[in-house]
């Protein structure tokens, strides 16, 4: 990814993140989270993680943030504007972030920096030797494309098959839990 | 080309913004959204490492992206349960301000 695109998406992401805290209105905060996640998805795609970028858009901005907006509108919060800003949490937040950022810069300035290894036709040709000759992955690699979704699917259903099944059970449990929690108590 | 440290710096800043939001904001829904920001910052770190430290065959290390996949899925389940708890809380107390929720305070 060219440098200017990296900084463009980073600025979109960080500005969206800062706007989440700055806006008083929760609906505006939720829409800022959407902007933040769109920038993040751009960064993912720039890192050649196409599948993760797409599910970031589909799952987070498409499903999760719409769920947030539904709940915000369902609860009908009117008295958000009333509270005077207490100074202690704001000072604590700024201090915490300043300490964290300084530590981050300190660590990063001393850790070795690397540039991205090349993902070109030569790398793909070498990697294609590790897959069965006429498979979809090898064919795509030999034609110079990164078969991101195929590679993720292969890893998911071979190496990570048991965690995937457990994840399915987790989603089922979460669904049942939500139904139980949101059922009105009969009294 | 952006280097690995650029990505780590940006994701660390996003994490810091999320942390500040959790500490500063009083609205429990906004606090919850800031938690999502922090999870996403961790995802960005994982994807950056997966791209910059390739596997033995030269392709990106897909183990890192598997972890991102699992984090996103668990976060979706967590949001569903968390929002159901917030709705139940609002029904019981008529508020979602963290200042008004002091039942557990000694």
Mean pLDDT value of segment A11-25: 93
A115/B12 CB distance under 8 A: no
Contacts of B16 in chain A (CB under 8 A): 96-97, 100-101, 104
Residue B78: the pLDDT is 94
Residue A89's alpha-carbon distances to A39, A100, A147, B25, in angstroms, are: 28, 16, 48, 8
Q: What is the pLDDT of residues A170-184, one digit of tens each?
A: 999 999 999 998 887
pLDDT for B43? 95
Which of A47, A123, A167 faces B48 most closely, judged by CB atoms?
A: A47
Residue A154 pLDDT exceeds 60: yes
Which of B12, B81, B26 lies closest to A90 in space, CA to CA?
B26
Can you give the pLDDT at residue A187? Answer: 56
Flag if A96 and B23 touch (Cβ within 8 Å): yes
Query: What is the three-class DSSP state of B60?
Result: coil
Residue that is written with structure tokens 């399915």 in the block? A168
Are B33 and A68 within 8 A, CB to CB? yes
Residue A149 has pLDDT above 70, yes or no: yes
The pLDDT value given to residue A83: 58
Residue A46 above 80 pLDDT?
yes
* CB distance B49 to B85 below 8 Å: no
Mutate to test the interface with A, among B39, B66, B69 (most CBs of A within 10 A): B69
Interface predicted TM-score (ipTM) = 0.92
| Residues of chain A numbered 48-107 and touching chain B (CB < 8 Å) | 48-49, 51-52, 55-56, 59-60, 63-64, 67-68, 71-72, 74-75, 77, 80, 83, 89-90, 92-94, 96-97, 100-101, 104-105
pLDDT tens-digit series, residues A97-137 = 899 999 999 999 988 888 888 888 888 888 888 888 888 88
Tokens at B44, concatenated? 């960005």
From-to residues of CATH 1.20.120.1200 in chain A: 1-76
Q: Distance between CA A113 and CA A109 in Å, rounded?
A: 9
pLDDT band of A90, cuts 50, 70, 90: confident
Mean pLDDT of A19-46: 93
Q: State residue A42's pLDDT score.
A: 95
CA distances in angstroms from A182 to A84, B80, B81, listed in the order given: 32, 11, 9
Tokens of A35: 């902007």
Percent of chain B with pLDDT over 70: 100
Residue A82 has pLDDT above 60, yes or no: no
Residues 124-143 of A with CB under 8 A from B: 126-127, 130
Q: What is the mean pLDDT of chain B?
A: 91
In this predicted model, which residue has the larger pLDDT, A187 or A74? A74
Residue of A nearest to B100 (CA): A83
Q: Which of B6, B14, B86 to mutate to test the interface with A (most CBs of A within 10 A)?
A: B14
> Which of the listed CATH numbers 3.40.1160.10, 1.10.3720.10, 1.10.287.3510, 2.40.50.140 matches domain B4-99?
1.10.287.3510
pLDDT at A186: 60
Considering only the beta carbons, identify the residue of A17, A117, A178 that sits closest to B84: A178
Q: Hey, which residues does B27 pair with through a beta bridge?
A: B97
Put simply, the answer to whether A90 touches B24 (Cβ < 8 Å) is yes
Question: Residue A128: CB partners within 8 Å, gap ≥ 6?
Answer: A137, A138, A141, A142
Does residue A86 surpass a pLDDT of 80? no
Which position has the higher pLDDT, A133 or A60? A60
pLDDT at residue A81 tops 60 = no
Confidence of residue B84 (pLDDT cuts 50, 70, 90): very high
CATH topology of domain A1-76: 1.20.120
Token pair, residue A29, equals 């905060």
Domains of chain B, residue spans: 4-99
Residues 6+ apart with CB under 8 A from A28: A19
């Amino acid at each position: 990814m060219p440098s200017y695109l990296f900084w463009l998406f980073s600025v979109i992401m960080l500005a969206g993140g800062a706007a989440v805290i700055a806006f008083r209105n929760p609906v505006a905060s939720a829409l800022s989270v959407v902007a933040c996640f769109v920038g993040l998805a751009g960064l993912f795609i720039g890192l050649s993680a196409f599948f993760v970028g797409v599910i970031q858009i589909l799952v987070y901005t498409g499903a999760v943030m719409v769920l947030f907006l539904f709940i915000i509108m369902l609860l009908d919060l009117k008295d958000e504007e009333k509270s005077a800003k207490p100074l202690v949490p704001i000072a604590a937040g700024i201090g915490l972030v300043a300490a964290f950022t300084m530590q981050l810069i300190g660590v990063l300035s001393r850790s070795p920096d690397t540039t991205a290894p090349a993902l070109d036709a030569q790398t793909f040709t070498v990697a294609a030797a590790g897959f069965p000759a006429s498979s979809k992955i090898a064919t795509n690699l030999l034609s110079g494309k990164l078969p991101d979704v195929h590679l993720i699917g292969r890893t998911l259903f071979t190496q990570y098959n048991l965690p995937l099944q457990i994840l399915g059970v987790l989603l089922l449990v979460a669904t049942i839990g939500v139904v139980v929690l949101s059922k009105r108590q009969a009294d | 080309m952006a280097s690995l440290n650029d990505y780590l710096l940006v994701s660390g800043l996003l994490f810091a913004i999320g942390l500040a939001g959790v500490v500063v904001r009083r609205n429990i829904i906004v606090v919850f959204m800031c938690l999502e920001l922090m999870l996403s910052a961790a995802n960005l770190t994982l994807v950056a490492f997966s791209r910059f430290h390739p596997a033995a065959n030269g392709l990106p290390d897909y183990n890192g992206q598997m972890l991102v996949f699992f984090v996103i899925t668990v976060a979706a389940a967590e949001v569903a349960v968390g929002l159901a708890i917030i709705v139940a809380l609002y029904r019981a107390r008529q508020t979602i301000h963290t200042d008004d929720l002091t039942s557990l305070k000694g």
